[in-house]
């Protein structure tokens, strides 16, 4: 399965938006006087529209609203089927198996997160939270998803009824197994560690490594 993101001007966009987007994709040195004039006119129009929508806002708010390019575009996910790219909709997304439908949503989500985190500080957490992770996906594809999170350098926390995350594609993982017993008003938390080859029970946290991480910059 191959998936891709497509982003393009909204379907009811004006000709000015199309011209402005083409101009913004050019290097400033390659822009003609006509390009600059068209781009300036488009931005002035966007600012005027922002003012008309919020006449009590500050100029900073109007400018931020006018330049928020996310509202200029439509973002689609496309899946390749028999050599032809098809936009995923409620109808086309439902044509695959349960695993394929999950894959078609999870892979673009991971790619989008990884791209977004490129703008973060190098020491910032790149976290993703998943509830009931990988439901309806076979073990082979689960291992590939874990590998994707390693390749994208994502920090993650997940909950699952049966998923432990112990795959050769995942080099290290801390696991907390929660269990209960009928008649006992308590939850037992057992800590396990996966090192890429085997899983062992360990209630010892690596405090020296934690201290090293927090004092590395000092």
- 81 within some domain: no
What is the average pLDDT across 203-207?
64
Measured distance CA(87)–CA(75) in Å, rounded:
10
Model pLDDT for residues 109-160, shown as the tens digit of each residue: 888 888 889 888 888 889 999 888 787 788 888 888 899 899 999 999 999 8
In which domain, by residue range, is 156 found? 96-215
Length of the chain: 218
132 and 69 housed in the same domain: no
175 and 205 housed in the same domain: yes
What is the average pLDDT across 38-49?
89
Query: Who contacts 130 (Cβ-Cβ below 8 Å, separation ≥6)?
Result: 156, 157, 158, 159
Total structural domains within the chain: 2
Model pLDDT for residues 188-201, shown as the tens digit of each residue: 888 999 999 999 98
Measured distance CA(11)–CA(14) in Å, rounded:
9
What is the average pLDDT across 84-108?
76
């Amino acid at each position: 399965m191959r998936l891709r993101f497509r982003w393009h001007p909204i379907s009811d966009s004006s000709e000015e938006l199309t011209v402005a987007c083409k101009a913004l994709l050019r290097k400033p040195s390659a822009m003609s006087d006509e390009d600059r004039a068209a781009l300036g006119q488009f931005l002035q129009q966007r600012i005027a529209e922002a003012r008309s929508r919020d006449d009590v806002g500050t100029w900073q708010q109007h400018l931020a609203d006018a330049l928020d390019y996310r509202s200029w575009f439509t973002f689609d996910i496309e899946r390749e089927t028999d050599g032809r790219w098809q936009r995923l909709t409620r109808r086309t997304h439902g044509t695959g198996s349960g695993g394929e439908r999950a894959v078609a949503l999870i892979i673009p989500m991971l790619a989008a997160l990884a791209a977004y985190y490129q703008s973060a500080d190098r020491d910032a957490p790149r976290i993703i939270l998943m509830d009931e992770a990988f439901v309806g996906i076979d073990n082979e594809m689960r291992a590939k998803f874990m590998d994707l999170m390693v390749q994208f350098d994502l920090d993650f926390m997940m909950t699952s009824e049966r998923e432990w995350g112990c795959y050769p594609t995942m080099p290290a993982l801390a696991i907390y197994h929660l269990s209960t017993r009928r008649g006992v008003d308590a939850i037992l938390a057992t800590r396990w560690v996966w090192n890429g080859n085997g899983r062992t029970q360990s209630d010892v946290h690596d405090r020296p490594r934690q201290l090293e991480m927090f004092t590395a910059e000092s």
